[in-house]
Amino acid sequence: MHPYSLEMRQIAAAAEERDRPAVVTPLAAIADAVRGSLRADPEEASARRLRLLDTVDCRLTRLGWRLEAEPGDDGTERWRLVSGSGRVRAAADLPSPAPKLVDDLPDGPLYRSLVPVVGIRALTPGPWITLAEHRATLRDAEGKVRCRLLAQTAVVDGGGDRCSAVRVGRLKGYRADAERVSERISRHYGWSPASPDPLTTLAENLHPGPEGAAYPSVTDPSEPAGPALRPVLQALLDTVEHRAEGVIADIDCEELHDLRVAVRRSRSILTLLRADPPDPALERAGAFFAWLGQVTGPARDLDVHILDWRAHRRRVPEHAADLEPLGRYMKAERDKAYVRLVRILQSKRFRDGVKRWRATLDATNAPWAASERALQPIGKLAGRRIRKLYRRAVEEGSSITDASPDEALHALRKTMKKLRYVFEIVRDAYPRKPVRAILKRLKELQQDLGDVQDTAVQADALRRFGEAMARDGTAGPATLMAVGALAEDLELRRADARTRFATVFAPVAKPRFADRLRRLTRSRTGGG
Amino acid sequence: MKVVACYNIKGGVGKTATAVNLAFLAARDGARVLVVDLDPQGAATFYFRVKPKVKGGGKGLVKGKRDLDDLIKATDHDRLDLIPADFSFRNLDLMLDAEKKSKKRLAKLLKPLAGDYDFVFLDCPPSVSLVSEAVFHAADALVVPLIPTTLSLRTYAQLGAFRDEEKLADLQLVPFFSMVDRRKSLHRQVVDRFPDDHAEAATVSIPYSSVVERMGTERAPIGAFAPKSPPAAAYESLWAEIARRLR
C-alpha cells in the first residue's frame, strides 16, 4: 500500500464544498478525481465485525502489532496477528470463547509469534469494532490494473472512536500512476499526510500502554535522598494500587507479581532511609509493606506452581493428560487463595495503609524527609548500602559448598535481591555500560538462586498436592505417577541449578567485579 | 528460489499457456512468483496486459546494466510479477554471445532476485540456441509441453540428448502432454505409451480446450476467468505434481 493516505472526512467535506451530494463515498469522490486517465472499477463494499486484543500493559500495540479476533460462522473465532506494515504474521481459527492465555493456544505460527511477546500475560479483548471497506481498481485503456484504492472506516461500538483513511496501493512498475493518482486526489480534495490504517489508530487509542518506566530510578546522585526517593516511592505506591485493582479484576498473574515487586522495592528504600531514632511514619509503612508481602505470598506461590505446571505440560506433552487433574486442583486452590487475597485488598487495613502512606509521601514538611539519612546525597547513601550488601553477598556466597543446605542459598538470594533493588534505584545515575554489565551478572546469579529455591518449594508443594488429591480421590494412579515424575523433574532441575551455582557466583565474587562496583558507586557521578 | 523453464524446441505446443497458468497457481498458493518472458513474440506479456517493452532492451538486460528489479511489472494478480518481453529479444542469442560465460549469464542475472521470489518461470522461445543453453543452466526444472504426435516425441528425444551433451544431470525434465484430444486414437496411444519409456513424464495431461484459447481474449490465466473448467483442474494437478518434485 502507498504510504500516503487521505482522511475520508476531508474528502467528503471537500466534495460537499464543491456542490456535490451531501453523502459522498470516498471512492466515488476519488473515482471522480481521477476521471479521464484511468477507469475506476469499484468492487462491492464489505464490512466486518472484530475486536482487538492486547495485554493490559499493551505489549502488542507497543510493538506496532495488532491482534484481531473475528467471529466465525461455526462458533469459532478467527485470530489474525498483523504487523505495523499491515502484513498478516500469523492466523488461526480458535474455539469460542478463545483462551485468555497464549499458553492455551494450540502450537502453530500464531502461538510461536505471540509467546515471546505476550509471555504469561493474558490477552483481553477491547470493544467491538465495525470495519467497513470499499475497494476500487484503477485500470488503463488495455484493462491493465495500474493501482488499487482502499477506503476503510473503523467505528468503535457505542459511539466510540471513528477513524477513516483512503490508501493508494502502488504496483511494481507502475509507481508513477499511484503518484499521479495521489497527486490528483490531493489537488481536488486536499491532502493529509500519511496516517496508519484505521485499525492501527484505534488499537493505539484503545491500548495506549502504561506511562513511564516500570521501575523509576533517581538520576541526580547529589540530590538529598529524601526528595530524590519521594517520587520513586510515590510511583511504587501507584503501582501497588493499580496492580491491586488488576488482582481484584483477575487480569492475570503478572498483576500480583508486579504488586509484590513494588512492595519489595518500597521496603528496600525504607531500609535505606531508616533513621535513628526510627521515624514512626516510615516504621508504620515498613510494617504495612511487610504485612502486604506476607499476605500476598500464598496466592503468588500457587501462581508460580501453575506456571510451572503449564511449562512442564508443554515440555513433556505425554504427561499433559495425566497432569490435568493436578492443574484443576491447583487452579481451585489458587481461586480460593485469590478470594482471600481480594478480600484483603478490599479491606480497610489495606486501604488505610495505602492512604496513610500516600499522605506521608505527599506531605511537604514530613519529619522523615528531614532525617540525617534523608538529607544525605542519594548517590552516597545508596552507594554505601550497595557496597555493604555486596560484601555480605560475597561472604555468604563464598561459604556455600556442595554440602550447604538450600537455606544458605536462600539467604544469599534474599541479600542479592536487596542489592539489586538498591542498585536499580540509582541505576540511572551511573553510566549505562557498566550498569548493564553488573546487572547482567547479578541477574544470572539471581536466576540460578531462584531456580534452586523455586524448584525445591515446588517439588515440596507437589508432594503435598499429590497427598491431598489422593485423600480426596481426585487423582488416579496415572495422575499421581505423573505428579511424582514432575516432582522428580523439579528435583533434577534443582540439582542442576545447585551445580551451576559455583559457575555463576564466581564472576560476581571476582575482585574485578568488586572493583568495578566500588568504582561505580564511589564515582563522582555516583557519589561516594 | 526455484527456476522453472517452460521449454520445447517446437513452437505452438503450449509453452506460454503453461508458464502463465502454472505461475498463476503458484502465486495463488501464496508463493512470490516472477515470470520472465524471453520470447520476442511476447505472448505471456500480452496475456498479462503488460506493454512488451523493456527499458534498455535485451542488451541492457543481458549486460546487467539495469537493476533487474527496475524492469519488473506487477501483474493484475497478487504476488505475481513479470519481466515483459521486448522485440529486441529476437537477438538475445547474439547479445548473450557477446558476453563472457554466456551460458551462465541468465543464472547470474536471476541470482539477486532469490530473496524476493520463491519461483521464477521462464517462458522460452522455441529453437535450440544459446538462449536455450543459458536457460538450461539457470533452471532447476525444464517443463516440456508435448503434443501427442510422433514429431513432438522426436524433439523431446533431441532435447534429452542435448541435456546429456551439456552435462546437466541435475536439470529435471518434466515432460507432459498438452492439447490432448482423447477422441483421436493417435493421441490416446501416444499418451498411454509414453510413460513406459519415460518415468520422468508427468501423470497429468492438459486437454485440448477452447478455454485455453480464450486466454487470448480474456488476457488472463485460466484460473482467473474459468477456475472450474477442465483445463484449470488439469493445470492445478500439473502444478501440484511439479511443486512436489521441486521440493
pLDDT tens-digit series, residues A46-66 = 889 999 999 988 899 988 899
A443 domain-assigned: yes
Within this chain, do residues A26 and A166 fall inside the same structural domain, yes or no?
yes
- Closest-CA residue in chain A for B47? A144
3-class DSSP state of A142: coil
Of A144, A145, A172, the CB nearest to B81: A172
pTM of the entire predicted model: 0.67
Of B49, B51, B74, the CB nearest to A143: B49
Report the pLDDT averaged over residues A103-108. Answer: 88
Any chain A CB within 8 A of the CB of B55?
A: no
A90 domain-assigned: yes
A215 domain-assigned: no
Any chain B CB within 8 A of the CB of A171?
A: yes
Within this chain, do residues A150 and A14 fall inside the same structural domain, yes or no?
yes
Amino acid making up residue B31: A
A114-134 residue pLDDT tens: 999 998 899 989 899 999 888
CATH number at residue A60: 2.40.320
Within this chain, do residues A226 and A342 fall inside the same structural domain, yes or no?
yes
Helix axes A378-398, A477-509, angle to 10 degrees: 120
Any chain B CB within 8 A of the CB of A1?
A: no
Any chain B CB within 8 A of the CB of A111?
A: no
A214 domain-assigned: no
Distance from CA of B75 to the nearest CA of A (A): 7
Which residues of chain A does B73 touch, with a Cβ-Cβ cutoff of 8 Å?
Answer: 171-174
Asked if residue A225 has pLDDT above 60, the reply is yes
Within this chain, do residues A184 and A65 fall inside the same structural domain, yes or no?
yes
A216 domain-assigned: no
B149 grid coordinates: 504426435
What local confidence, expressed as pLDDT, does residue A19 receive? 45
Q: A164, A179, A206 — which closes off a domain?
A: A206
Any chain A CB within 8 A of the CB of B74?
A: yes
Within this chain, do residues A239 and A357 fall inside the same structural domain, yes or no?
yes
- Closest-CA residue in chain A for B84? A173
A134 domain-assigned: yes
A217 domain-assigned: no
Q: A206, A236, A267 — which closes off a domain?
A: A206
Which residues of chain A does B76 touch, with a Cβ-Cβ cutoff of 8 Å?
Answer: 144-145
Which residues of chain A does B81 touch, with a Cβ-Cβ cutoff of 8 Å?
Answer: 172-173
What residues make up the domain containing B144?
Answer: 2-246
CATH number at residue B58: 3.40.50.300
Of A143, A145, A172, the CB nearest to B72: A172
Within this chain, do residues A336 and A399 fall inside the same structural domain, yes or no?
no
Within this chain, do residues A411 and A334 fall inside the same structural domain, yes or no?
no
- Closest-CA residue in chain B for A143? B49
Any chain A CB within 8 A of the CB of B76?
A: yes
Report the pLDDT averaged over residues A254-271. Answer: 93
Within this chain, do residues A420 and A463 fall inside the same structural domain, yes or no?
yes
Distance from CA of A180 to the nearest CA of B (A): 17
Report the pLDDT averaged over residues A485-507. Answer: 91
What residues make up the domain containing A381?
Answer: 377-528
Domain tally, chain A: 3
Domain tally, chain B: 1
Any chain B CB within 8 A of the CB of A143?
A: yes
Within this chain, do residues A226 and A284 fall inside the same structural domain, yes or no?
yes
Q: Are A322 and A479 in contact (CB under 8 A)?
A: yes
State the pLDDT confidence band at A178, using cuts at 50, 70 and 90: confident
Within this chain, do residues A518 and A431 fall inside the same structural domain, yes or no?
yes
Which residues of chain A does B51 touch, with a Cβ-Cβ cutoff of 8 Å?
Answer: 142
A74 domain-assigned: yes
A141-155, A251-265, B45-59, B91-105: least confident range:
B91-105
Q: Which residues on neighbouring strands pair with residue A166, listed in sequence order?
A: A6, A151
Task: Please answer yes or no on whether A173 and B76 come within 8 Å at the CB atom.
Answer: no
Per-residue pLDDT 10s for chain B (247 aa) are: 999 999 998 888 999 999 999 999 999 999 999 999 999 899 999 999 999 988 888 787 777 777 788 889 999 999 999 999 998 888 778 777 777 787 888 888 888 889 899 999 999 998 888 888 899 999 999 999 999 988 888 889 888 888 888 888 888 999 999 999 988 988 998 999 898 889 899 999 999 999 999 999 999 999 999 999 999 999 999 999 999 998 8
CATH number at residue A372: 1.40.20.10
> Can you tell me which residue has the cell 490528483?
A184
Amino acid making up residue B37: D
Any chain A CB within 8 A of the CB of B72?
A: yes
Within this chain, do residues A125 and A72 fall inside the same structural domain, yes or no?
yes
Asked if residue A419 has pLDDT above 60, the reply is yes
Of A144, A171, A173, the CB nearest to B49: A144
What local confidence, expressed as pLDDT, does residue A10 receive? 56
Any chain B CB within 8 A of the CB of A145?
A: yes
Interface test with B, best of A150, A172, A177 (most B CBs within 10 A): A172
User: ω before B221 within 30° of 0 (cis)?
Assistant: no
A296-348 residue pLDDT tens: 999 999 999 899 888 888 777 887 888 889 989 999 999 999 999 999 999 99
Within this chain, do residues A335 and A390 fall inside the same structural domain, yes or no?
no
Cα(A260)–Cα(A244) distance, rounded to whole angstroms? 10
